[in-house]
Structure 1
Amino acid sequence: MSLLDTLASSFGKSSPEGGGAAPAGLVAVAMEFINNQPGGLTGLIQRFHENGAGDVVSSWIGHGENKPISSDTLTNVLGSGAVSDLAQKAGVSGDQLSGMLASVLPQLVDKATPNGEVPADGKLDLGSVLGSLGGLGGLFGKNEEPKA
């Protein structure tokens, strides 16, 4: 099962009338959250280090396999208030959001740092990130190839 399928099931395959964000919406919400951090991606990385998950986030930036993160650890790093706010924006519960972000963030950060470097301004550009993925399919596909 692909990550896209996992996300679709997490969203309960919402009807077009509403009731939940699409995976692309989750990516947009995650990117907005990252960009609104003091320092952008750099600030988020610092939060991971301050909350005991520095090795995990470093694996997403560095070359090689991305270490997984649990939804509980992610909630601890981001803070329950931030998770609740993001969940409200995405139209899902906090538990659903933290689980989905635990799947999406490693790939998003990985793709935003293709050479193992954080963008100079720490900001993520949706077009650039999706362009480096060849569209959303790349974001939700397998992440087993090492970065160039």
Structure 2
Amino acid sequence: MAPGGPGAGLGGIHGGLLGNQRGQAPGGFLHSGLGEMLERFHQAGHGPTAQSWVAQGPNQELPPQHLEQAIGPDVLATLTQRTGLSREELLSRLSRELPQAVDRYTPDGRMPA
């Protein structure tokens, strides 16, 4: 299967959300880095939840519909196109996996320097 096809792992999605695919996405979100991504969650009213992913301790869950609100339709459309996943499946997976990915990216409970 081609990279980014239906069999693509979530690593590519996480990489895009955390800023590893610079200049390849609309809205400035995918290439904006972790700080800007978390700021979008704050602006959407989900700051405490997103901060729990960074902080040490349990990660709060974010339902798929709230995740969709925070990341926006342009990013969602790009990710569904790149992964070959349906919108619902993509949101479901990100809802489960994004908190863990951010948690792993911030193992000491704070943003990387």
* Shared fold (TM-score, shorter chain, > 0.5): yes
2:16 matches 1:32: yes
Distance 1:17 1:39, change over 3 A: closer
Greater Rg, structure 1 or structure 2? Answer: 1
Aligned mates of 1:32, 1:95 — CA distance in 2: 18
Which amino acid in 1 is paired with 2:34? L
For each residue in 1:117-144, what CA deviation from the matched residue of structure 2 results, as whole angstroms up to 9, or x when unmatched? Answer: 1122xxxxxxxxxxxxxxxxxxxxxxxx
Higher relative contact order, structure no. (Cα contacts within 8 Å, ≥ 6 residues apart): 1
Deviation at 1:72, TM superposition (A): 0.2
Deviation at 1:30, TM superposition (A): 2.0
Asked whether the 8 Å contact 1:27–1:104 carries over to 2, the reply is no
Equivalent residue for 1:43, pick from 36, 40, 45:
36
Q: TM-score, normalised by structure 2?
A: 0.82
Unmatched tracts of structure 1, length 5 or more: 1-15, 121-148
How many pairs align? 103
Which amino acid in 2 is paired with 1:31? G
Deviation at 1:39, TM superposition (A): 4.2
Aligned mates of 2:107, 2:33 — CA distance in 1: 17
Q: TM-score, normalised by structure 1?
A: 0.64
Aligned to 2:7: 21
Extract structure 1 runs of 4+ deviating beyond 4 A: 16-19
Asked whether the 8 Å contact 2:17–2:37 carries over to 1, the reply is no
Which piece of structure 1 moves more, 27-36 or 97-106? 27-36
Which amino acid in 1 is paired with 2:10? L
Asked whether the 8 Å contact 1:84–1:93 carries over to 2, the reply is no
Which piece of structure 1 moves more, 37-46 or 103-112? 37-46
Unmatched tracts of structure 2, length 5 or more: 23-28
Q: Among the aligned pairs, what percent are the same residue?
A: 32
